[in-house]
Chain A
Amino acid sequence: MEKRVTFRGWMLPLLLIAPQVVVSVVFFFYPAGQAIWQSLFIPDPFGLSSQFVGLGNFEFLLSDPFYRASFVTTAVFSILVTLCSMIPALFLAVIADRLIKGSGVYRTMLIWPYAVAPAVAGVLWLFMFNTRVGVISWYLGQLGYDWNHVLNGGEAMGLVVVASAWGRISYNFLFFFAALQAVPRSVIEAAAIDGARFWRRFFTIVLPLLSPTTFFLLVVNIVYAFFETFGVIHTITAGGPQQSTTILVYKVFSDGFVGQDLGSSSAQSVILLVVVGLLTVIQFKYLEKRVHY
């Protein structure tokens, strides 16, 4: 049976949820409502006049092949960032979990990059891969590989993915590591007695038991790749070359704050809101069924 606490009257429960509601209204519903409203207009930058265009902004965007291409770029970017940040994190967590001595040091070292702000991480990676003074690009040059992410879209994408995933590995590591500690030893020992080797135990016992954490991290990382990688992209490529790293969020920024086109920028935010909403629904509807709690 479910336990339920029943309140008498309405005042206390309302009061208790009030802070949460106020925060949501002020920081989410109000701005989101503004974005939806503004997406119906083409305003001038100074807010002196605006033209009502109905769904004109959406029409303008969706008929732009570069905007449509930006969906694909975003999908590729998000999937790569999620994979590149989760798989190494899981691997490191499994290794660190097996350590008997010195695991504290390893843990601290592995969590460290999380403290680096995305924009700073972007500058660090950019510096290492700078086509002129970068250490790594210099070594690549010695090996005969001509690194030039300012012209090569694939290399630019690779660089922003690595820079975005790097700090994120720490975050994921933390969750995986905690989850691994919670896997009951008795189950693993029983399997070991039955003769299952380490990787077999890992894939048949540990991984399924980690699934709630994996699912949580999947959702959180995709949201991260969508919204929080902005700083990295801004510092490393500014969306280039030829829009090959222009993800949806970056376009919202560059159209709104560089181009002063607030109408289009608002319409893009609305589209983004819908896309992320749909993604989350899909994740919960289909993926969550396969999660064992």
Chain B
Amino acid sequence: MNKTLIAGFALASTVLTPIAASAQTEVQFWHAFTGRLGELVAAQVDAFNAGQSDYTVVQSHKGNYSETLNAGIAAFRAGEQPHILMVFEVGTATMMAAAGATKPVFEVMAESGATFDPDAYIGSVKGYYTTTDGDMLSLPFNSSTPVLWVNRDAMEAAGVDPDTDLSTWQNVGAVLDQLKAGGEECPLVTAWQSWIHLENLSAYHDVPFASKDNGFAGLDTELMLNGEAQVAHLTAMGEWAQDGKFVYTGRRNEGGANFRSGECALFTESSAGYAGIKAEAEFDFDVRPLPYWEGVGNAPQNTIIGGASLWVLEGHEAEEYKGVGEFLSYLSSSDVQAQWHQDTGYLPITTEAGEATRAAGFYDENPGTDIAVIQMTAKEPTANSKGLRLGSFDQIRGIIDEELEAIWAGDKSAQEAMDSAKERGDALLRRFESANR
């Protein structure tokens, strides 16, 4: 009796599904956003679905960045891959090397006939995801760049003028002394230490992070993060850590909690920290450009992005790729981008979206929100500031984190730690090279 019922349902559902599906082509979109960002993504998807009747985009959250990439890879191996997969910038080289698994975005757009103008995208954003021939491989989705957040109340409490010039690390160093002397227990805290204090530091001073144009020009790249500029910066940071002027809280964005609670005075964090800080901070804060060392390299050059891009995976029907093309085109449209930029603090990916935001008066009402955009776009990127394209980079970041911890703890000098990071990281780069030969 029960069996017949189940069989009946099974039959009914198999008969009915194709009818439903023939009306709308389904596009699977896997992403890594929860909380407020998750809601905003869901809203974008809903708006797209409501705006046309040919395609349905189904969005699903698959865990944090690493977990989402893993889920995508595992699904690909099982033949169950989504159409669109969000991959963080660190996974870019992995995706690029997997030529048989991904379908380049420029190809998807050309085949689908959706509106697509590669020149509309901001150079320093799309450069990260574009081949040396100028072909866009994945669509930049959420991109941010590090800036300096200032707790003005904490500065005043320690007797420091909150409007002090903090554009150089030399000035920041002096302010840290004053903050410490003024009784501030947490003068400086950071998030994403490798991204901000090594990867961006290198780009900002126009010194290489790795050979072969930071990996853009070939898999036979080697790390160069033990250079003079990097070591000098980390030596200073290490001294600040020893003196209690820089407080280390963890490898990811743990420091955000310390800053948002008002405990810390200065905070180097992604521009996308904006949404959280604005929501939680019960003090007067402002945003400054990331500091640089006066007189080192060509600083200030431009900073590089972090965040994620959308990759299209192989193995689906042409009709479905058409839907993918439409969706990606919708995401890049000026209105959607401008809204996303204003809601989240992520950078607009097209020049037009940035201009629309300015025209709407958003930057005047929210001073400082354009600093990240200016910092990224003020100068044409050089080979050292275009981005990074290194295999096994998630693991290499882990190694860098470990070595940085050794500096903060006073176990190693900055030079020793970075020499060791280079040696260990290079071993992984050679492995990646041989796996993708």
Contacts and interface: CB of A to CB of B under 8 A. Distances in A.
B437 A261 contact: no
B434 A151 contact: no
B250 A258 contact: no
A106 interface: no
A46 B77 contact: yes
Nearest to B77: A47
Interface in A217-253: 238-243
B15 to A, nearest CB: 34
B97 A240 contact: no
A126 B163 CA distance: 38
B172 to A, nearest CB: 22
B136 interface: no
A104 interface: no
Contacts of A238: 251
A242 B257 CA distance: 23
Nearest to A259: B395
A44 interface: yes
B156 to A, nearest CB: 23
A256 to B, nearest CB: 9
Given A44-B97, A46-B98, A242-B402, A261 B431 contact: yes
A94 to B, nearest CB: 41
Contact of A150 (B94, B249, B406): B249
A132 B249 contact: yes
A60 B428 CA distance: 10
Contact of B402 (A43, A50, A240, A259): A240
A51 B435 contact: yes
B405 A151 contact: yes
Contacts of A53: 434
Nearest to B81: A46
B175 to A, nearest CB: 23
Nearest to A238: B251
Contacts of B263: 132
B392 A242 contact: no
Contacts, number: 91
Contacts of B249: 131-132, 150
A10 B403 CA distance: 62
B48 interface: no
A48 B95 CA distance: 12
A284 interface: no
A46 B258 contact: no
B94 A45 contact: yes
A132 B98 CA distance: 42
Given A240-B251, A242-B411, A260 B402 contact: no
B435 A263 contact: yes
A46 B427 CA distance: 21
Contacts of B101: 46, 48
Nearest to B437: A51
A132 B427 contact: no
Given A132-B263, A255-B395, A258-B394, A44 B405 contact: no
Contacts of A50: 435
B424 interface: yes
Interface string B89-119: 0000010011011000000000000000000
Contact of B98 (A44, A254, A258): A44
Given A60-B427, A132-B249, A261-B392, A42 B98 contact: no
Interface in B219-260: 248-251, 254, 257-258
B327 interface: no
Nearest to B410: A151
A283 interface: no
Contact of B436 (A44, A242, A259): A44
Given A254-B398, A255-B395, A66 B424 contact: yes
Given A132-B249, A132-B257, A242-B405, A260 B431 contact: no
Nearest to A57: B431
Nearest to A60: B431
A260 B398 CA distance: 13
A94 B408 CA distance: 46
A64 interface: yes
Interface in B398-424: 398, 401-403, 405-406, 408-409, 411, 424
8 contacts: A46-B73, A150-B249, A150-B254, A241-B409, A242-B403, A258-B395, A259-B395, A263-B435
Given A53-B434, A240-B402, 6 more contacts: A48-B101, A241-B405, A254-B395, A255-B395, A257-B66, A260-B69
